[in-house]
Structure 1
Amino acid sequence: MPILEAREIEAGYGEVQVLWGVTVKVEKGSLTALIGSNGSGKTTLLRAIMGLVPVWKGNVIFNGQDVTKLSTHSRVELGMVMVPEGRMIFPNMTVLENLEMGAYTKRAEDHFEDQLEFVFNLFPRLKERLNQKAGTMSGGEQQMLAIARALMSVPEVLILDEPSLGLSPKLTLEIFQTIRKLKDEGVTMLLVEQNVHLSLAIADYAYVMAEGKIKIEGKAEELEKSEDIKKAYLGI
């Protein structure tokens, strides 16, 4: 049974429908990529999964429980955690204070020291900048902090929305190396990312979205090899 499943999701904004019967499954311990061009509905789906956008029709199932009607806060308590597009760190707080904000749930409180050690091993640079204001760090360091803050919540599923957005090619590679490390650590992830090549290179399974629908799905390595898929849906 998948740890996370979006079943036949329909959602949108106001009277504008964006998602049309979207179904996505995430297996425990896997990295699932959601790819497609801008405006295809990827971020809206993530927001619907997290309860940030109302689901008009369909269900969100997490660990066998229907969470469609639960608040975002309740979903985080259960172990669904999202790193939003644009990082959304607290710029006037220190690195440590940002990490503490990630550990506010009851499930996180009990694992604070262990998670702190985990994120410092993953991001040694954050340990060096523990008392630095987050807003004074580079874009790459801020993205590392955003991921680390999410990990402080002890997620069962980590949802990443465009983690390389606005980063240089070098920093993008660093972020993807980190995502690969998390995968090796057994962290379950759902990744939305514009960099199709890097996404398919590290993902286990992938969904291609276009016009608010899943157009094709399959093992990432198989999608990566398909020239027809690249031309038809990915613009590459």
Structure 2
Amino acid sequence: MTLSLRHARVRYGPLEALHGVTLAAPGRGVTVLLGRNGSGRTTVLRALAGTVPLSGGAVVWDGVDVTRMPAFERARRGLCLVPERRAVFGSLTVRENLDLAASEPTAAPGPAAAHDLALAAYPQLKPLLTRRAGTLSGGEQRMLALSRALLAHARVVLVDEPAQGMSPLVAARTYELLGSLDACVIVAEQRLPPALIGRPAFVYELRRGAVVFAGEAGEWRRRDRR
């Protein structure tokens, strides 16, 4: 299984955010999209998820062109997008957010099992179960959002800055969890996460809406040091 963009172009009004981007992520493992703000990495995730339309090119999933497939249908088929912001239901409690994840067709069997899985991944959430998600810190909200993604048992997981607001220890745990998934995982980051140094990962670096590097993480680090 692979998920790819082929010569993808995305426009926001008169501005073109992606200029013919081509990239591919394997069916299992972590692919990293690197780039500064405005580089196009978030737009790549949205294009793959179907939340922004392409003005040119294609999205191909398992060899099938899904460019015209709506976002809800991609989600139904096993794609999970965790955006940088508004990734949780702020008016609901942590427990209620997890209950919603447990109600998904592919999720763990029942709320109790969902809670157990989420708390095993992030024990820090246990004393927060009755808190409204909107009152959590940024790092706590990221843990909750990622817990919901883990519970979905998705085939494709797209995450924009997964470790934002987390301590180095929790960030390392987060990448350990993402790397252990039997899924195609694509993350967008400004810098190569320390937790991925020395681990197998493929890197695409974007700059001004175009791919300027594609290769293994170790190769990118050697290039970046020059």
Specify if TM > 0.5: yes
Who is 2:172 aligned against?
176
Structure 1 stretch 4-13 or stretch 170-179: which is displaced more?
170-179
Question: Aligned in 2, Cα 1:71/1:116: closer, same or farther, shift over 3 Å?
Answer: farther
| TM alignment of 1:3-14, pairs within 5 A | 3-14=2-13
Who is 1:234 aligned against?
none
Structure 1 vs Structure 2 CA RMSD: 2.3
Superposed CA deviations along residues 153-185 of structure 1, whole A, max 9, x for unmatched, are: 2211111102234x2xx6254123212233134
Who is 2:213 aligned against?
216
Instruction: Give distance in 2, aligned partners of 1:188 and 1:104.
Output: 22
Deviation at 1:86, TM superposition (A): 2.0
Who is 2:190 aligned against?
194
| TM alignment of 1:1-236, pairs within 5 A | 2-108=1-107, 114-165=113-164, 167=165, 171-198=167-194, 201=197, 202=199, 204-227=201-224
Instruction: Give distance in 2, aligned partners of 1:218 and 1:121.
Output: 33
Aligned AA for 1:191?
A: V
Structure 1 stretch 57-66 or stretch 114-123: which is displaced more?
114-123
- Confirm or deny: 8 A CA contact 1:104 1:153 kept in the other structure: no
Instruction: Give distance in 2, aligned partners of 1:218 and 1:204.
Output: 9
Instruction: Give distance in 2, aligned partners of 1:48 and 1:130.
Output: 33
Gaps of 5+ in 2: none
Instruction: Give distance in 1, aligned partners of 2:4 and 2:112.
Output: 31
**For 2:88, what is the secondary structure of its paired residue?**
coil
- Identity, % of aligned positions: 34
Instruction: Give distance in 1, aligned partners of 2:32 and 2:107.
Output: 26
Aligned AA for 1:38?
A: N
Instruction: Give distance in 2, aligned partners of 1:112 and 1:65.
Output: 34
- Confirm or deny: 8 A CA contact 2:29 2:183 kept in the other structure: yes
**For 2:143, what is the secondary structure of its paired residue?**
helix
- By percentage of residues, which structure has more helix? 1
Deviation at 1:148, TM superposition (A): 0.9
The alignment of Structure 1 onto Structure 2 pairs a total of residues equal to 225
**For 1:135, what is the secondary structure of its paired residue?**
helix
Structure 1 stretch 70-79 or stretch 98-107: which is displaced more?
98-107
Gaps of 5+ in 1: 232-236
Query: TM-score w.r.t. structure 2 length?
Result: 0.88
Deviation at 1:114, TM superposition (A): 4.9
**For 1:218, what is the secondary structure of its paired residue?**
strand
Instruction: Give distance in 2, aligned partners of 1:193 and 1:19.
Output: 17
Question: Aligned in 2, Cα 1:161/1:203: closer, same or farther, shift over 3 Å?
Answer: farther
- Confirm or deny: 8 A CA contact 1:92 1:134 kept in the other structure: yes
**For 1:154, what is the secondary structure of its paired residue?**
coil
